[in-house]
Structure 1
């Protein structure tokens, strides 16, 4: 896969290490040819605790992407001419076909979870990650659920390479990758408190769907200036705050239309909109159909037992 790979490592390996290299025949037979798996699939995966003397240098790179997640100790990585220092909480993704090297610190060796992966969806996913992280290196808060997800992937791979097993493992690995790209959303239901002001703002909106707010009022709720709040909100969600608020109002309206007998005027009033015609225009713009048509279609589906 590469013309030169330099490896320096203690012959006995690292105490507690584990690794799985998927057979190339399995990758060709099951992963590459399966449309469910060909987007993102693992080729190698492992865990190296206190990996003293761990070192790799690949002048021509690999035809795979590499994820290294450091949870203890420290080390360094180099991609092309750019060097990165890695400490606990840091992760880095090394792109395919890029010259690179990485090494554990000799005095404080790293403990890492790592994976090699491929697929036609990987490049756009890592491009998104690099855009959000402003580079290939990032930082995530330690989350036990992320480690448990990795362990689940690894333990299932140990059970063999059936199609069902590989589907579960690789779909789970996509989730694992997304936990680095969207750390603020990963395992959201178990978070005890929210410190991201945008999360707080969205929670504020969800609890006050019956009200109407100005930009200034929502910004005040999270103690930010309107201009800073608006810029930050759009950066993280892709939408202006009030537009986002309208989207989740309409999301709630869809639930009312589907699961209750409330009239359109009553739904609008419940969502803090006095003018039912304004509500209908907003609903139609967002959903592509009028509230009445939406309700009729859902009723038809229920009657024909498609739902």
Structure 2
């Protein structure tokens, strides 16, 4: 049973709860069943907003705070403070409570989602059980996805509308998952670093040789710390990732130019074409010449 301290709405709020019979009718559709929105809302300056679900919700609840402050408690455990830029995913069937502060009431966008792929999107990532920050770029995307979903649902619950909104839900879930998987870096200016900057640096130097020490210095981090953060973010060591970027570029040269394999290897700073071919086959699964002969498009 839900406990709500504020029964009426909030000025300029947006709220849609899809009827259960609509969800039951459409939820098995192959383009919907993977992930779909059941409820969607926007509460601006939601003073006294409070909700408690002792039994949890059958849906995953995504809450994104763009102003003000609030809190979320899961399983009677630690309180997670929410403030501007904070996002949290409340797992399905998890007892929880949340509310806005009285002194600085929050403004939140929220989504309830279900589907076969919901656990794959939202479970197994520690940061989903604690509020964390969203970048300005990702914030804009989340808000745009909300409005596109909401405005389409406002026009009716047709099958085509629900299919489209389901795909927007997948985009949103992937965006949140990607955002939350980024490593948390100490806030001191000396250690501040965004892995995205390393990726841009690698791309800008793709035809050169770059050492691990150089990458760590560019990131203003020690080699061990940088390597750990980079692998947490990408799943690969920095040099392994850089080699993969080089081979990815080699594929483009093989597809789009008439350069020989030796010329391509030298252009990408592989001094030994045989070593280049071995790395290429290890990553792509076939030799450069076999790759070039493969029909594409």
Determine whether 1:262 maps to 2:253: no
Query: Structure 2, unaligned stretches of length 5 or more?
Result: 183-191
How much has 1:134 moved relative to structure 2?
6.6
Task: Name the residue aligned to 2:277.
Answer: 280
Task: Name the residue aligned to 2:41.
Answer: 46
Superposition pairs for residues 1-307 of structure 1, below 5 Å?
4-11=1-8, 13-30=9-26, 32-82=27-77, 83-128=79-124, 130-131=125-126, 133=127, 135-142=129-136, 143-183=139-179, 196-298=193-295, 301=296, 307=297
Cα gap change, 1:65/1:236 in structure 2, threshold over 3 Å: closer, same or farther?
A: same
Q: Distance in 2 between matches of 1:141 and 1:222?
A: 19
SS in structure 1 opposite 2:48?
coil
Q: Distance in 2 between matches of 1:74 and 1:222?
A: 33
Deviations 1:24-83 (A, max 9, x none): 2221222x2122221211000010111112111111111111111111111222111222
| TM-score between both structures, scaled by the size of structure 2 | 0.90
SS in structure 2 opposite 1:183?
helix
Cα gap change, 1:255/1:176 in structure 2, threshold over 3 Å: closer, same or farther?
A: same
Task: Name the residue aligned to 1:192.
Answer: none
Cα gap change, 1:253/1:184 in structure 2, threshold over 3 Å: closer, same or farther?
A: farther
Q: Distance in 1 between matches of 2:69 and 2:58?
A: 26
Contact residue 73 and residue 111 of structure 1 kept, 8 A: yes
Q: Distance in 2 between matches of 1:204 and 1:212?
A: 12
How much has 1:219 moved relative to structure 2?
1.6
Deviations 1:118-158 (A, max 9, x none): 11211122124x33x27342221343333122111111111
Q: Distance in 2 between matches of 1:224 and 1:177?
A: 31
How much has 1:212 moved relative to structure 2?
1.5
Q: Distance in 1 between matches of 2:207 and 2:197?
A: 17
How much has 1:230 moved relative to structure 2?
1.2
Q: Distance in 2 between matches of 1:73 and 1:184?
A: 21
Query: Structure 1, unaligned stretches of length 5 or more?
Result: 187-194, 302-306
Contact residue 179 and residue 185 of structure 1 kept, 8 A: no
SS in structure 2 opposite 1:77?
strand
SS in structure 2 opposite 1:38?
coil
How much has 1:282 moved relative to structure 2?
0.5
Cα gap change, 1:49/1:197 in structure 2, threshold over 3 Å: closer, same or farther?
A: closer
Contact residue 206 and residue 268 of structure 2 kept, 8 A: yes
SS in structure 1 opposite 2:129?
coil
Contact residue 70 and residue 88 of structure 1 kept, 8 A: yes
Cα gap change, 1:95/1:184 in structure 2, threshold over 3 Å: closer, same or farther?
A: closer
